[in-house]
């Protein structure tokens, strides 16, 4: 076997090995670092979120951790104040899970984190005239009854 055919055989063999899962392949590349970081930040947010005051929790999320600073984003200035008051507890929790956290920075976003809750729809009662008109419209959609004995 010549060296040329030997290298072809090796490369062919490599291609036949089991394919990697797409996410695993992406994460193994340098481009996977932002994805890993986003997953890590999401996990940190899930661990810190239960320690936020219940009224504040739906309005705040962890956006970044950089050089000992926890960066949170809130959807209104009032929540910035409430989050600053909760900062000492958040720093304690962050340290307890292994982060070197020394400061909390809160930024206000112009877009809400969750869509606003919609008021439940209430049925509006039909007037008797509207009820009759609707019934007449429905009656036009029903097939006419067949008469027996006539053909």
Mean pLDDT of 104-110: 91
Both structure tokens of 70: 């926890």
Both structure tokens of 108: 């206000």
Q: Residue 74 — very low, low, confident or very high, per pLDDT cuts 50/70/90?
A: very high
103 phi and psi angles, rounded to 5 deg: -155, 150
The Cα–Cα gap between 29 and 115 comes to: 35
- 53-78: buried (b, 16+ CB within 10 Å) or exposed (e) per residue? eeebeebbbbbebeeeebebbbbeee
Report pLDDT digits (tens) over 31-61: 567 888 888 899 999 999 999 999 999 999 9
Average pLDDT, the chain: 78
Angle of CA points 54, 60, 66, to nearest 5°: 130
Q: How far apart are the first and last CA of the chain?
A: 91
The Cα–Cα gap between 150 and 142 comes to: 21
Cβ 63 vs Cβ 72: under 8 Å: yes
Q: Look up the pTM and report it.
A: 0.55
Both structure tokens of 29: 């590349």
Q: Does residue 68 have a pLDDT over 70?
A: yes
Q: Which domains does the chain have, with CATH numbers?
A: 33-113 (3.30.300.180)
Report pLDDT digits (tens) over 116-125: 566 677 778 8
Mean pLDDT of 108-119: 68
């Amino acid at each position: 076997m010549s060296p040329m055919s030997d290298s072809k055989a090796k490369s062919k063999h490599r291609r036949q090995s089991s394919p990697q899962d797409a996410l695993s392949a992406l994460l193994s590349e340098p481009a996977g670092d932002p994805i890993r970081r986003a997953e890590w930040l999401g996990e940190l947010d899930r661990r810190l979120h239960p320690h936020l005051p219940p009224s504040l929790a739906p309005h705040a999320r962890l956006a970044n951790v950089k050089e000992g600073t926890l960066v949170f984003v809130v959807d209104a200035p009032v929540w910035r104040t409430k989050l600053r008051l909760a900062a000492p507890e958040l720093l304690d929790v962050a340290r307890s899970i292994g982060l070197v956290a020394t400061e909390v920075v809160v930024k206000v976003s112009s877009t809400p984190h969750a869509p606003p809750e919609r008021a439940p729809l209430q049925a509006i009662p039909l007037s008797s005239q509207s009820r009759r008109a609707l019934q007449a419209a429905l009656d036009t959609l029903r097939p006419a009854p067949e008469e027996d004995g006539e053909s």
